[in-house]
Amino acid sequence: MELFNLTIDILGMVAFSVSGVMLAMNKKLDIFGVFIIAFVTSVGGGTLRDVLIGDKPVFWLQENIYMYSIIGSVIVAIIFRDQLKYLRKSLFLFDTIGIGLYTMVGIQKGLSYGLEPIMCIGLGTITASFGGVIRDILCNEIPVIFRKEVYATACLCGGFGYFLLEKLPIDAAYPYIGGIVIVISIRLLAVRFKIALPNIYKSSVA
């Protein structure tokens, strides 16, 4: 199971790295800027998570594979940037995959520290969301999590879905995968059918 968790962690890091590269190139940043945006997108949420639970040094300082994964993802994304010409669609796709994977990574980290399920879901949402928050702020964008789009809500639903599936008499890998699928599916369906959180502001009347 430890290898499975590491694999999901690396896949999430790759997905977020590519989403960071896409936005950075869309903003016409130089190579250093592209790497920095990819880096903070990948490790921002996990770093905040580890600081909150007191896991030091933070995860990406413990294993070289994390940094190598980011560097490799940046290089590959830059080389194949022409194939990723639909920047908005590419950014959305990789960002969606990233939040699905990282939600479960955060939940598992919380469980390993003996936290209650509700706290684990919160950690999963932080892990999945806050790398993108830092990315968007650095790129002078309003973070997606603060807009009316379904984003963090999908992470919360995936977390609750994981703990519900875990109660079933099935292999431990299935609830894990199910949580990821729930997050990605809700995000994709919300965008496809323009489902958004309620607007709390009244429309101005001329």
pLDDT band for position 88 (50/70/90)?
A: low
- pLDDT per residue over 142-159, tens digit each? 898 887 678 999 999 999
- pLDDT per residue over 92-123, tens digit each? 888 999 999 999 999 999 999 999 999 999 99
- pLDDT per residue over 25-61, tens digit each? 989 999 999 999 999 999 999 999 999 999 999 999 9
Q: Do residues 141 and 95 touch, judged by C-beta distance below 8 A? A: no
End-to-end CA distance of the chain: 60
Q: Within 114-172, where are the H helices?
A: 117-138, 152-166
pLDDT band for position 1 (50/70/90)?
A: low
Q: Higher confidence at residue 43 or residue 200?
A: 43
Instruction: Write down the pLDDT at residue 200.
Output: 74
Q: Do residues 99 and 183 touch, judged by C-beta distance below 8 A? A: yes
Is pTM beyond 0.75? Reply is: yes
Mean pLDDT of the chain: 90
Instruction: Write down the pLDDT at residue 194.
Output: 86
Record the tokens describing residue 49, joined without a space.
């998570």
Q: Which of 63-67, 88-92, 117-121, 127-131 has the lowest mean pLDDT?
A: 88-92
Handedness of CA 20, 26, 27, 31 (dihedral sign): positive
Listed in sequence order, the residues at least 6 apart from 30 whose beta carbon sits closer than 8 Å to its beta carbon are: none
pLDDT band for position 202 (50/70/90)?
A: low
pLDDT band for position 197 (50/70/90)?
A: confident
